[in-house]
Chains A and B, each alone.
Chain A
């Protein structure tokens, strides 16, 4: 059975942290933090685990699906402050980029907000030392029984889905994934691994998205038009993920259209991350993988580092600046400078939280009150363009179709939306679907098949007897099952006896069948012989000179009843090995002989 205990992701888009117990092995899937809280609630509550002792003793391993903070943000806290020394698995790109983001996050919380009792840079480093990097499709043996395997998940660079397998029980955890390819990443893919449980995210459980092409085209057209008019375009972005996609999009467009206007990217942590994007070419989409020999797509020709002074340069330009919601930092500064000119444009590529400047301008506000009672009039055009990298409802269904799981568990989504998807999954795939709430435990009963070793000699002997093996039909097989030292073996009876040092006993069944037949004994025998010969065409039926009949190794003898000469007694005798045929014969003879034809 598989136990699945959700500490953070159940019915909520917040932190992801799932505990899976599969055939006695405990695995923690993701270790994320909640962006919305600044107190203890931001990290998962590990006390549930620690009440049974140390984390390391309880958990066999931790798996991180990708580098977003809601999937890995609590990792240093978990490993260094709560204390965990076991292995942490993640893909190579995740391992490379994750510490950059953690460090950035730490800086903001500690240096800017001045919080204490937070993890330190050293802790991040120590934590990363415990990480074991895995390749795609590489099967990693965590211990003798537990093995994990990563699949491509799209979403962001290095995002992976993990299959966790103990014996023949398996769980697939998707993390966040994307079933439609974008400009820099491919689509998630999994083979038909038929796991017992698929744990899938369900952010867009109730959405079927429009094709990406329209959005891309719109975006490009708007940027192009503005630049042609001589205006400036501001694109506030979060540092990683979508920003790279937009960069590639603009870069290739500039290349294609032979445009000259400069594109800038505000530096900072992006530069480091971009470096890794260049390195991990194998994780990107077909186009980038195929053309990197000529030119690495992330070596941007048109995109240059931004300098504060450039914002006042005349002429058209495009600037990517952080943060994405225009609430502080460089993007807000540039916005203030450019907002007054109606030739300029700001494109919001993502969702904005209420209260931020981004949200205000998106909802149509044209006059903003800045600090110091200044009124900023927004004359520039404001555009909204959503580029999201989660699978939509169709994508989720597609993944389920590919993997063919026996049970599905939905996490990382809103309860109401998940309800809809759950119903759909149950209806269309006829599998059980679960959607546990935070802290709720789901138990799934599996029907494990137990592997048994069989000696080749025995297998060949047994298959030689019967017909060709057929996958669809179970086949009967004779042998002795030996359960010893936690292993199962099927061996021939002789060998089993030998191994156990036992003498062989013959077990023989004998059965008497009474038949009403007034004729002489040998005539009866002859009738029985003819009858059997007629019925059992595939077996060798012999009439021996001593008056008995053999069917294969089964002996049939006929004697007259001592009291009633009209009744003949048929003695049927067979060994235990021939039980099947023997019992069939007796039942056949019990039905009596067909009326004599002669």
Chain B
């Protein structure tokens, strides 16, 4: 029972894939249907009742039809269509026609006439609608042909007067998708159907059925998307639709208004009931703002989203959106924001509020108060207060976009954004923090605002705190008190959540370097130095002290007077931190001290950077390998690899590149070592050990090449070529080793053939690059290809062996940017001594929290692996929603892994690690393989040798102590 339960739980909660290495998929069943049309015909003739016929059609629809037989099938279907009396069967046939005309490679113009003919005698509205849908499919496949389109549009116009909404709907859709877009064409005069699609569609804005009205607006939008310039006259019509009773109509109308406002921003429209006129974009903005307080939340979301992209609105209107005239008992009242600002500017700190401090001031002229029709007034205030968080998020996004383009608006919306930091839904809070970060270049935080922002630092959600740290990194603070406040709050944060250490240090680094002059007066206080007395030396391991130092040192970088305030131990600490936390502490020009390294001025391009130079020099050095003796080669490679690895550790920005190169050299080294042995020529069985070494080397090289190809972002095609080349060499090595260890020729045939195929596909992939590979392994191999194909396996092996030895070392060009994918599991920490207890057979959820850097498409590639002590391994695909994207190139995985096992006698550790799955089909190389004619249909796609799936572990494994208890009976 328990086992069954466990199985069920797995089925329901996780997608667990037991990796199966036997290649099942190779045996793919390919069904051939010699004559589908004939079979269908027989079936349909056999059908005695409509229900039967429907069944046959349904069955038929489940299987795909080959391109060649589509037309035949269509004819048969049409034949039955005319005979059929039952509307439901006709409906199915009509839908099948549409499905069939979608078949890739089939040109449906031959069946178009028939399809149009069927329309003529059709009585059933549903079938008519379906037929029009079929025509739409046909039309979209034949967009290149204007006369076909014209004809279809004519047909659609004819049926626009149908009494069924479904038919009218489809007609409008058809016109929208196929209506003529190009103006003034030669054909214009010739056909009257193409008179004015816009007018035809516009007439249906007042249709009695809301669905048709929606379809008309959508058709109009479709026309716009296809490039037709909509007429301005529609604007007034669209405005009326905003007051429609049905939400889908209003929602579509809002879009239409938006489109028009983007098309004719500057034209002038009159304001009804007055003589004034305003720009169209302002008018539209007002109208859309009005929709932010619509009754339907779908419309509200739509409206709020669109507001963000209306950039041409005059600032006067824009600023109104944040303004809600407050009053109390008919007297003007200031908002809390205004009061806070006043308090701040008057120099008072916001102490507790007094009773009646918000008492209303001046009287309001009752006539002047406009309660509702004030257009843009307060739209965002409403949007941000909305009941549905979807609307609030949309409003925050819109605010962000508008603020990015208008600094003055950014300044104004600040208060509102800060307020959103206290929203009840975390997503909204996060979104508003991100928004604030995006507009931070436009704003400076006032102290009271900063106070509110900093209050959020205590949030228990790590996401929020990290987002806030990011925000603080790029915030401008106006006063030294502000900096002090920020530091104090960050330190508080640090004591409360020690895991935030790195993030806080980074934050302080930027805070320091942005505000050197504000930090300067704080230095004595922060370092607690005293003019006369020596103060005790702080503990160097205290993260809080390090945080303070990071702030100060970064400020000191652009403030030369600051080091004078340091005490002796500060200098010592500086030296220590500069070495241990080099990415946080910049190089300083300290008085009386030699610089640890020459200052890195920002103007230096990466190529002039000394470490970069070092990297290139080491590579240069390696390129002259050929001229050295074997021993020398190995030594040189080993040294270079060591150097590169150290460089990677020191210079985080070069880590990717250094690692990548080191890995490549490591492969080369392994290859050389494997080929080095003089014992190769001795009879094979005597040298099992040697063979073992060579075969492990080959295997390792293969692994490393996959790592190189898939673990680094920024790899270009040149590098891919070299990686593949290396892989080919490894495979050759493998072949040689196997040839030497196996007796008999039989298995070798297959292997040789496979290898040759690989060479062939390599050549196909990189045909353009081959000229660059003079003297390389593959170059030589290709020269020998004719001989290889015809010779026996043993000879092939011999040739390969010599070629491998003689081939030269390929230079590895380095791309501009190269980053290694890394993962770090934050949770579980692996430190707990308390085992996670659960009843065997049931599941326990383990929270996994990890940061991923430089992983492309993490949703598709990152997996969690769980290794049980009995060697059983589970691979879990996290849901796409479990990945967050806090910044460019960074991802965060927060997921739950379900564990289960049979009962154990005592607790034991399992290992959790992250894997990077790869699939060589997805690699950059395969994109270049020319599409063969025979692989067009999916069924016929050959199982190419190139598609190899595998996984690379790319995080340190974490041990989790678990204890499945036997179930109590």
Q: When the two chains form their complex, are residues B372 and A362 in contact, meaning their CB atoms are under 8 A apart?
A: no
Within 8 A of B (CB), among A268-320: 285-287
Q: When the two chains form their complex, are residues A207 and B295 in contact, meaning their CB atoms are under 8 A apart?
A: no
Q: When the two chains form their complex, are residues A222 and B352 in contact, meaning their CB atoms are under 8 A apart?
A: yes
Q: When the two chains form their complex, are residues A214 and B335 in contact, meaning their CB atoms are under 8 A apart?
A: yes
Contact of B372 among A180, A383, A394 (CB under 8 A): A394
* A377-390 Cβ-contact flags toward B at 8 Å (1 or 0): 00001111000000
Q: For the complex formed, measure the closest distance between the CB of A58 and the CB atoms of chain B, giving whole angstroms.
A: 36
Contact of A211 among B353, B385, B459, B460 (CB under 8 A): B385
* A179-196 Cβ-contact flags toward B at 8 Å (1 or 0): 011010011011110000
Whether a CB of chain A sits under 8 angstroms from the CB of B422 is yes
Whether a CB of chain A sits under 8 angstroms from the CB of B373 is yes
Whether a CB of chain A sits under 8 angstroms from the CB of B327 is yes
Whether a CB of chain B sits under 8 angstroms from the CB of A488 is no
Q: For the complex formed, measure the closest distance between the CB of B737 and the CB atoms of chain A, giving whole angstroms.
A: 57
Q: When the two chains form their complex, are residues B355 and A468 in contact, meaning their CB atoms are under 8 A apart?
A: no
Whether a CB of chain B sits under 8 angstroms from the CB of A220 is yes
Residues of A within 8 A of B345 (CB): none
Whether a CB of chain A sits under 8 angstroms from the CB of B546 is no
Whether a CB of chain A sits under 8 angstroms from the CB of B693 is no
Q: When the two chains form their complex, are residues A212 and B460 in contact, meaning their CB atoms are under 8 A apart?
A: no
A570 to B707, CA, bound (A): 104
A471 to B461, CA, bound (A): 55
Whether a CB of chain A sits under 8 angstroms from the CB of B71 is no
Contact of A256 among B208, B372, B388, B459 (CB under 8 A): B459
Whether a CB of chain A sits under 8 angstroms from the CB of B348 is no
A468 to B355, CA, bound (A): 66
Whether a CB of chain A sits under 8 angstroms from the CB of B324 is yes
A173 to B71, CA, bound (A): 65
Return the chain A residue nearest B331 by Cβ: A206
Query: Contacts A256-B461, A258-B496 given: A424-B329 contact, CB under 8 Å?
Result: no
Contact of B371 among A192, A424, A472 (CB under 8 A): A424
* B456-471 Cβ-contact flags toward A at 8 Å (1 or 0): 0011110000000000
* B364-394 Cβ-contact flags toward A at 8 Å (1 or 0): 0010011111000010010011111100000
A208 to B355, CA, bound (A): 19
Q: When the two chains form their complex, are residues B373 and A428 in contact, meaning their CB atoms are under 8 A apart?
A: yes
Q: For the complex formed, measure the closest distance between the CB of A533 and the CB atoms of chain B, giving whole angstroms.
A: 26
Q: When the two chains form their complex, are residues B326 and A210 in contact, meaning their CB atoms are under 8 A apart?
A: yes
Residues of A within 8 A of B906 (CB): none
A10 to B337, CA, bound (A): 36
Contact of B293 among A215, A220, A398, A420 (CB under 8 A): A398
Contact of A210 among B336, B366, B372 (CB under 8 A): B336
Residues of B within 8 A of A213 (CB): 384-385, 419-420, 422-423
Query: Contacts A208-B327, A287-B389 given: A257-B424 contact, CB under 8 Å?
Result: no
A216 to B337, CA, bound (A): 13
A252 to B366, CA, bound (A): 41
Residues of A within 8 A of B335 (CB): 210-211, 214
Residues of A within 8 A of B496 (CB): 258
A213 to B354, CA, bound (A): 19
Residues of A within 8 A of B353 (CB): 218, 383-384
Residues of A within 8 A of B232 (CB): none
Residues of B within 8 A of A214 (CB): 335-337, 419
Contact of B460 among A210, A224, A258 (CB under 8 A): A258
Residues of B within 8 A of A362 (CB): 355
Q: When the two chains form their complex, are residues B295 and A189 in contact, meaning their CB atoms are under 8 A apart?
A: yes
Q: When the two chains form their complex, are residues A211 and B208 in contact, meaning their CB atoms are under 8 A apart?
A: no
Residues of B within 8 A of A394 (CB): 324, 371-372, 378
Whether a CB of chain A sits under 8 angstroms from the CB of B845 is no
Q: When the two chains form their complex, are residues B330 and A224 in contact, meaning their CB atoms are under 8 A apart?
A: no
Q: For the complex formed, measure the closest distance between the CB of B343 and the CB atoms of chain A, giving whole angstroms.
A: 12
Q: When the two chains form their complex, are residues A206 and B328 in contact, meaning their CB atoms are under 8 A apart?
A: yes
A472 to B208, CA, bound (A): 9
Q: For the complex formed, measure the closest distance between the CB of B889 and the CB atoms of chain A, giving whole angstroms.
A: 29
A213 to B378, CA, bound (A): 15
Q: For the complex formed, measure the closest distance between the CB of A11 and the CB atoms of chain B, giving whole angstroms.
A: 16
Q: When the two chains form their complex, are residues B328 and A181 in contact, meaning their CB atoms are under 8 A apart?
A: no
Query: Contacts A208-B324, A221-B455, A222-B352 given: A180-B245 contact, CB under 8 Å?
Result: no
Residues of B within 8 A of A255 (CB): 460
Residues of A within 8 A of B422 (CB): 213, 216-217, 220
Whether a CB of chain B sits under 8 angstroms from the CB of A364 is yes
Residues of B within 8 A of A428 (CB): 370-373
Whether a CB of chain B sits under 8 angstroms from the CB of A470 is yes
Return the chain B residue nearest A297 by Cβ: B424
Q: When the two chains form their complex, are residues B372 and A417 in contact, meaning their CB atoms are under 8 A apart?
A: no
Q: When the two chains form their complex, are residues B386 and A181 in contact, meaning their CB atoms are under 8 A apart?
A: yes
Q: Which of B208, B336, B387, B459 has the most CB of A within 10 A?
A: B387
Interface residues on B, range: 35 or more
Residues of B within 8 A of A187 (CB): 387
Residues of B within 8 A of A381 (CB): 352
Within 8 A of B (CB), among A239-254: 252
Contact of B387 among A181, A256, A393 (CB under 8 A): A181
Q: For the complex formed, measure the closest distance between the CB of B91 and the CB atoms of chain A, giving whole angstroms.
A: 23
Within 8 A of A (CB), among B323-361: 324-330, 333, 335-337, 352-356
A426 to B653, CA, bound (A): 69
Q: For the complex formed, measure the closest distance between the CB of A137 and the CB atoms of chain B, giving whole angstroms.
A: 14
Whether a CB of chain B sits under 8 angstroms from the CB of A597 is no
Return the chain B residue nearest A222 by Cβ: B352
Q: When the two chains form their complex, are residues A397 and B371 in contact, meaning their CB atoms are under 8 A apart?
A: yes
Whether a CB of chain A sits under 8 angstroms from the CB of B696 is no
Q: When the two chains form their complex, are residues A181 and B325 in contact, meaning their CB atoms are under 8 A apart?
A: no
A212 to B392, CA, bound (A): 14
Contact of A192 among B245, B352, B372 (CB under 8 A): B245
Whether a CB of chain B sits under 8 angstroms from the CB of A401 is yes
Whether a CB of chain A sits under 8 angstroms from the CB of B206 is yes
Residues of B within 8 A of A191 (CB): 295
Whether a CB of chain A sits under 8 angstroms from the CB of B535 is no
Within 8 A of B (CB), among A409-466: 417, 420, 423-424, 428
Query: Contacts A214-B419, A424-B369, A428-B371 given: A224-B327 contact, CB under 8 Å?
Result: no
Residues of A within 8 A of B356 (CB): 384
Q: When the two chains form their complex, are residues A469 and B388 in contact, meaning their CB atoms are under 8 A apart?
A: no
Whether a CB of chain B sits under 8 angstroms from the CB of A402 is yes
Q: When the two chains form their complex, are residues A468 and B161 in contact, meaning their CB atoms are under 8 A apart?
A: yes
Whether a CB of chain A sits under 8 angstroms from the CB of B528 is no
Residues of A within 8 A of B327 (CB): 206-208, 393
Q: When the two chains form their complex, are residues B371 and A211 in contact, meaning their CB atoms are under 8 A apart?
A: no
Whether a CB of chain A sits under 8 angstroms from the CB of B717 is no
Query: Contacts A181-B387, A256-B460, A424-B369 given: A363-B336 contact, CB under 8 Å?
Result: no
Q: When the two chains form their complex, are residues B387 and A401 in contact, meaning their CB atoms are under 8 A apart?
A: no
Q: When the two chains form their complex, are residues B387 and A206 in contact, meaning their CB atoms are under 8 A apart?
A: no
Return the chain A residue nearest B496 by Cβ: A258
Whether a CB of chain B sits under 8 angstroms from the CB of A209 is yes
Residues of A within 8 A of B208 (CB): 469-471
Q: When the two chains form their complex, are residues B385 and A398 in contact, meaning their CB atoms are under 8 A apart?
A: no
Q: When the two chains form their complex, are residues B295 and A208 in contact, meaning their CB atoms are under 8 A apart?
A: no
Whether a CB of chain A sits under 8 angstroms from the CB of B267 is no
Contact of A258 among B378, B388, B389, B458 (CB under 8 A): B458
Q: When the two chains form their complex, are residues B328 and A207 in contact, meaning their CB atoms are under 8 A apart?
A: yes
Q: Top 8 closest A-B pairs, CB basis?
A: A214-B336, A181-B387, A213-B419, A258-B460, A257-B458, A362-B355, A397-B372, A206-B330
Residues in A lying within 8 Å of B, measured CB to CB: 180-181, 183, 186-187, 189-192, 206-218, 220-222, 224, 252, 255-258, 285-287, 362-364, 381-384, 393-394, 397-398, 401-402, 417, 420, 423-424, 428, 468-472
A-B contact pairs, 23 of them (CB 8 A): A186-B387, A206-B328, A207-B329, A208-B371, A210-B333, A211-B381, A211-B416, A212-B385, A213-B419, A213-B422, A213-B423, A214-B419, A252-B424, A256-B461, A286-B387, A287-B424, A364-B354, A381-B352, A384-B353, A384-B355, A398-B293, A428-B373, A471-B208
Known pairs A394-B371, A402-B295. 13 more at Cβ < 8 A?
A181-B386, A206-B330, A208-B325, A210-B333, A211-B324, A211-B416, A214-B335, A214-B419, A256-B459, A257-B460, A286-B388, A397-B372, A417-B330
